[in-house]
Amino acid sequence: EIALLERDFRIAESSAILKYLASRFDAPEYPKDLKERAKIDSIMDWFNTGFYKDFGYGLLYPQIFPHHKRPTDDQHTGTIAWGKDKCKTWLSVLDKDILGKSDYVANNKISIADYFGVCLLTAGELIGCKFEGFSNVQRWVGNMKKLSSWTKVNEVMYGFAGSMAGKQFETV
């Protein structure tokens, strides 16, 4: 359980570090306008506290990390099924309510919430998630992948994903 708490802390810490750096260097992706910033903060919190808990610990980690295996096969299968079901709900909210017709998750312009959220979401590519049935999510991820920095930033993750090629996973 200490490892889980450390992981949660690191994700929350990365969100805080991202906010700090964006503020420190006056990044346009984290505007000074308090209403715009509040929207970005709320979306980052949504990704961090709701979506990520069920996606990471319910669906993703139990399938790729041995230390997340549940004590029995029934418990393990149940955890993944529960996580998959919860993820569909979160993805529906992201697809319809957060993104909708918008290109980005906050204020309809690219922000640190997009950078943060898409990195959490695309971790699902480790197990083959394609987010079928969530067309706005797919569109948003596709647009984020067009960023010139995408390949370099995600190089290690894609290497890890390649090491699991051919394995069967439950996905959304």
pLDDT in tens, 33-55: 999 999 999 999 999 989 999 99
Judged against a pLDDT cut of 90, whether residue 87 lies above it is answered with yes
Cα angle, residue 120 at apex, residues 1 and 112 outer, rounded to 5°: 120
Whether the predicted pLDDT of 14 surpasses 90: no
Q: What percent of the chain has pLDDT over 70?
A: 93
How far apart, in whole angstroms, are the C-alpha atoms of residue 125 and residue 154? Answer: 11
Kindly tell me if the per-residue pLDDT of 146 is higher than 60. Answer: yes
For residue 28, pLDDT over 50 is answered with yes
CA distance 162 to 3: 25
- Please give the average per-residue pLDDT across 107-135, as a whole number: 96
154 pLDDT higher than 60: yes
**Closest among 61, 56, 167 to 121, alpha carbons compared:** 56
Q: How far is residue 153's CA from residue 147's CA, in Å, rounded to a whole number?
A: 10
Rounded to the nearest integer, the mean pLDDT of the chain is 92
* Helix extents (H) in the chain: 2-24, 34-45, 52-54, 61-64, 73-92, 112-122, 135-144, 150-153, 155-163
Q: pTM of the entire structure?
A: 0.90
Q: Smallest Cα–Cα separation from 126: which of 75, 55, 77?
A: 55
Per-residue pLDDT at 5 exceeds 70:
no
Does 13 have pLDDT greater than 90?
no
Percent of the chain with pLDDT over 90: 87
Going by pLDDT thresholds of 50, 70 and 90, the confidence category of residue 11 is low
